[in-house]
C-alpha cells in the first residue's frame, strides 16, 4: 500500500461530472449544466466525467443514452473517461448499504406504499410536511423476506446541515426537516439520493455542478457522506432556464432537445456561447471563444436567478459565427443541411461560396440551405408581383438582351460580372435598380437575393443564360 500513501499526497485533482438520466434527449438545460461542468474542470486543469443514471429501469432507454452521447459529441464536450453506468454498479450499492446497516446507520422498514401514502396525507392534514414517521427507526427489525422491505437511512434528528453553495452562498437546513429517506427500494435497486453519493465518492468527484432543483436533496446527501465518513464535495447549483414567457421549458412550446437546435440550423459553438452567457457573465463581453470560456469561466460567477431562453439572441450569435467563421469550416455542417432538404451539393456552386453570399442574410444554416436552393435546382415558382413589376415593363427586355450578350463572353467571376452590369446600365442609360431587379427576377423568380453579381455568378454561365431566356419569354408574354 505504499503506492496508495503516495497517491494521497498528490494534491486532489478537480473532477466534475455530468449525470443525465437517459429518459429522453439531451435538453438545453442539461447542455448548459454539462458545459459548466466541462468548463470548470478544464479551467482548473481537472477532469470531466460522465455518469448515466439509469436506475429507473422503467423509463431509461438505450436510444436515450445514445442520443445524449451524440449530442455531447456534437457540442464537442468531451469526457475524459468512459461513462459510468449506475446499473453496472448494483453490487457496490448493496455493499455500501450493508455497511450502513451493520453500523446502525440504516435500517429495514416494512411499510407498504399505501401505508406511506396515508402517513403523508395525515401529516399534510396537520399542516406539516409530508414525510416518514420513523416507525421502524428504533425497532431494529431484522432482514426478512417481504415485498415491502426497503432500507431507510437513519438521518440525524438534531442540529442542521450547512453548506456553502458556490453559486447560492450559504444554505442551511434543520435536520428536523428531513426524514429517513429510502436508500434501497423494495425492488432491490438503490434510490437516487443514495446512488449519487456512492458514485460521487467512488468517482472522486470534487465539485458537484447540477440544476438547483437539487438544492433540497443536498442536505440529505451530505448526511450520507458523513455517515460514510467521506469528504463532502463542493456544490454549485445552477438556476433553471425558463422559456420566453418565464415558464418551465416544455416540449410543447419550445425546442428543448439540443439536436433539434441542430436541425433548426444552429452551430454548436453558437449554442455554447449563448449558453455560457445565460446565467454567467464576464463584464460586458458577449463573444467567447472556447479558449476564452475555459480561461474565464468560474462557477462562483454564475448568477443566482433563473433566466429565460431568448431565441432572438441565439439567432444573433449564430449569425455572428456564420459571418465570422472561416467559410470552409462551416461547409460540413452546411452540407448536412443541404442534404436534409434533398440538395446534392455536387450539382451546383461550391458550398463555401454560397455561404459567403448568404451569411449576411440568414440567422441559421437551415434558412441558408433553403435559400441556396435557387442555385442547385431550377426555378419552379415565379412571384407574380415580381414578374409584373420588374419583367413586364419597357426596359426589362432590353436589359435582359443586353446582359445576355455580354454575359455570354465575360470571365465568369463576380467582379467581371459586376462590370458587365455597370456596362449595361451605362449603355441603356438606366439606374442600377432598373438593371439589377429584372436580372434578379430572372435568376431567382423573386425580387430578393444577394447582390446581383454574386447571384448571377453562383448560377453558373450556362444556367444564368438559360434563366435569362426564360425571363425574356415572361417579359414579353
Catalytic residues: 251
Q: Nearest approach, Cβ of 262 to RNA (angstroms)?
A: 20
Rounded CA separation 87/82 (Å): 15
In the complex with RNA, the residue whose CB is nearer, 61 or 303, is 303
In the complex with RNA, the residue whose CB is nearer, 206 or 218, is 218
Assess 385 for contact with RNA (CB under 7 A). no
**Which residue from 18, 17, 16, 24 is spatially nearest to 68, judged by alpha carbons?**
24
Choices 129-137, 200-208, 256-264, 345-353 (CB under 7 A): range interacting with RNA? 129-137
Count the neighbouring beta carbons within 10 Å of the beta carbon of residue 22. 22
Q: Which of residues 168-187 bind RNA (CB under 7 A)?
A: 168-169, 171-174, 177, 181-182, 185-187
For the window 10-29, what string marks contact with RNA as x by the rule CB under 7 A? ---------x-x--------
Q: Nearest approach, Cβ of 356 to RNA (angstroms)?
A: 11
The x, y and z cell numbers of residue 451, run together, are: 447582390
Q: Which of 44, 92, 131, 366 binds RNA (CB under 7 A)?
A: 131
In the complex with RNA, the residue whose CB is nearer, 226 or 313, is 313
For the window 442-471, what string marks contact with RNA as x by the rule CB under 7 A? -----xxxxxxx------------------
For the window 226-245, what string marks contact with RNA as x by the rule CB under 7 A? --------------x-x---
Q: Which of residues 206-225 bind RNA (CB under 7 A)?
A: 212-217
Q: Residues in contact with RNA, total (CB under 7 A)?
A: 86
Q: Which of residues 265-284 bind RNA (CB under 7 A)?
A: 277-281, 283-284
Assess 436 for contact with RNA (CB under 7 A). yes
The x, y and z cell numbers of residue 191, run together, are: 434510490
Rounded CA separation 359/368 (Å): 7
Q: Let me know how many helices (H) and strands (E) the chain has, helices first.
A: 20, 12
Q: Specify whether the CB–CB gap between 155 and 220 falls below 8 A.
A: yes
Assess 475 for contact with RNA (CB under 7 A). no
Q: Which of 262, 337, 440, 467 binds RNA (CB under 7 A)?
A: 440
Lookup result for grid cell 457573465: 281
Contacts of residues 401-410 at CB distance under 8 Å and 24 or more positions apart, as own/partner, are 401/472, 402/427, 402/428, 403/435, 403/439, 403/468, 404/465, 404/468, 404/469, 404/472, 407/456, 407/461, 407/464, 407/465, 407/468, 408/461, 408/465
Choices 70-78, 98-106, 166-174, 459-467 (CB under 7 A): range interacting with RNA? 166-174
Q: Which of 124, 341, 388, 405 binds RNA (CB under 7 A)?
A: 124
Q: Nearest approach, Cβ of 2 to RNA (angstroms)?
A: 38
In the complex with RNA, the residue whose CB is nearer, 348 or 414, is 414
Q: Nearest approach, Cβ of 227 to RNA (angstroms)?
A: 18
For residue 177, what is the enclosing H or E element? none
Q: Which of residues 46-75 bind RNA (CB under 7 A)?
A: 53, 55-56, 59
Q: Specify whether the CB–CB gap between 193 and 220 falls below 8 A.
A: yes
Sheet hosting strand 15-18, strand order edge to edge:
84-85, 47-52, 15-18, 207-211, 234-238, 160-165, 169-174
**Which residue from 404, 456, 396 is spatially nearest to 428, judged by alpha carbons?**
396
Lookup result for grid cell 467521506: 230
Residue 351: alpha-carbon gap to chain centroid:
26
Choices 39-47, 67-75, 262-270, 428-436 (CB under 7 A): range interacting with RNA? 428-436
Q: Which of 14, 49, 150, 399 binds RNA (CB under 7 A)?
A: 150
Q: Which of residues 304-333 bind RNA (CB under 7 A)?
A: 304-308, 310, 312-313, 315-316, 319, 323
DSSP H stretches of helix in 325-363: 327-340, 351-358
Rounded CA separation 165/300 (Å): 9
Assess 203 for contact with RNA (CB under 7 A). no
Choices 68-76, 325-333, 396-404, 427-435 (CB under 7 A): range interacting with RNA? 427-435
Q: Nearest approach, Cβ of 186 to RNA (angstroms)?
A: 3
For residue 85, what is the enclosing H or E element? strand 84-85
Assess 135 for contact with RNA (CB under 7 A). no
Assess 103 for contact with RNA (CB under 7 A). no
Q: Nearest approach, Cβ of 451 to RNA (angstroms)?
A: 3
Assess 433 for contact with RNA (CB under 7 A). yes
How many angstroms separate the Cα of 414 from the Cα of each of 142, 252, 450, 456?
A: 86, 46, 12, 8
In the complex with RNA, the residue whose CB is nearer, 92 or 361, is 361
Amino acid at each position: 500500500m505504499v503506492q496508495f500513501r503516495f497517491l494521497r499526497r498528490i494534491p486532489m485533482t478537480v473532477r466534475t461530472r455530468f449525470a443525465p438520466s437517459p429518459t429522453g434527449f439531451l435538453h438545453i438545460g442539461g447542455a448548459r449544466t454539462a458545459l459548466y461542468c466541462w468548463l470548470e474542470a478544464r479551467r482548473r486543469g481537472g477532469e470531466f466525467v460522465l455518469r448515466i443514471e439509469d436506475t429507473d429501469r422503467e423509463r431509461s432507454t438505450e436510444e436515450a443514452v445514445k442520443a445524449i452521447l451524440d449530442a455531447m459529441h456534437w457540442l464537442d464536450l468531451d469526457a475524459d473517461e468512459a461513462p459510468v453506468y449506475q446499473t453496472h454498479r448494483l453490487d457496490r450499492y448493496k455493499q455500501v448499504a450493508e455497511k450502513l446497516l451493520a453500523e446502525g446507520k440504516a435500517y429495514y422498514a416494512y411499510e407498504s406504499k399505501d401505508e406511506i401514502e396515508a402517513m403523508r396525507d395525515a401529516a399534510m392534514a396537520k399542516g406539516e410536511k409530508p414525510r416518514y414517521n420513523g416507525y421502524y427507526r428504533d425497532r431494529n427489525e431484522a432482514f426478512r423476506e417481504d415485498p415491502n422491505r426497503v432500507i431507510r437511512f437513519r438521518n440525524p434528528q438534531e442540529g442542521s446541515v450547512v453548506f456553502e453553495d458556490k453559486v447560492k452562498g450559504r444554505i442551511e437546513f434543520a435536520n428536523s426537516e428531513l426524514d429517513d429517506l429510502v436508500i434501497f427500494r423494495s425492488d432491490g435497486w438503490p434510490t437516487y439520493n443514495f446512488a449519487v453519493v456512492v458514485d460521487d465518492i467512488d468517482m472522486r468527484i470534487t465539485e458537484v455542478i447540477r440544476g438547483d432543483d437539487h438544492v433540497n436533496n443536498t442536505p440529505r446527501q451530505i448526511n450520507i457522506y458523513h455517515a460514510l465518513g467521506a469528504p463532502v464535495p463542493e456544490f454549485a447549483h445552477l438556476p433553471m432556464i425558463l422559456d420566453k414567457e418565464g415558464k418551465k421549458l416544455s416540449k410543447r412550446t419550445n425546442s428543448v432537445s439540443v439536436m433539434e437546435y441542430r436541425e433548426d440550423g444552429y452551430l454548436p459553438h453558437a449554442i455554447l456561447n449563448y449558453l455560457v452567457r445565460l446565467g454567467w457573465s464576464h463584464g460586458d463581453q458577449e463573444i467567447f471563444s472556447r479558449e476564452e470560456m475555459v480561461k474565464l469561466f468560474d462557477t462562483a460567477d454564475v448568477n443566482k436567478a433563473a433566466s429565460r431562453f431568448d431565441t432572438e439572441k441565439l439567432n444573433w450569435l449564430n449569425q455572428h459565427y456564420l459571418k465570422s467563421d472561416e467559410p470552409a469550416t462551416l461547409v460540413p455542417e452546411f452540407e448536412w443541411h443541404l442534404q436534409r432538404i434533398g440538395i446534392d451539393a455536387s450539382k451546383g456552386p461550391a458550398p463555401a461560396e454560397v455561404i459567403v453570399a448568404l451569411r449576411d442574410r440568414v440567422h441559421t444554416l437551415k434558412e441558408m440551405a433553403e435559400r441556396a436552393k435557387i442555385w442547385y435546382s431550377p426555378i419552379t415558382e415565379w412571384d407574380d408581383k415580381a414578374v409584373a413589376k420588374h419583367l413586364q415593363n419597357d426596359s426589362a427586355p432590353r436589359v435582359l438582351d443586353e446582359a445576355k450578350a455580354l454575359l455570354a463572353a465575360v470571365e465568369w467571376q463576380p467582379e467581371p460580372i459586376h462590370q458587365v452590369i455597370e456596362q449595361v446600365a451605362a449603355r441603356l442609360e438606366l439606374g442600377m435598380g432598373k438593371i439589377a431587379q429584372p436580372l434578379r427576377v430572372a435568376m431567382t423568380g423573386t425580387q430578393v437575393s444577394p447582390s446581383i453579381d454574386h447571384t448571377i455568378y453562383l448560377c453558373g454561365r450556362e444556367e444564368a443564360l438559360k434563366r435569362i431566356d426564360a425571363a425574356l419569354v415572361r417579359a414579353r408574354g
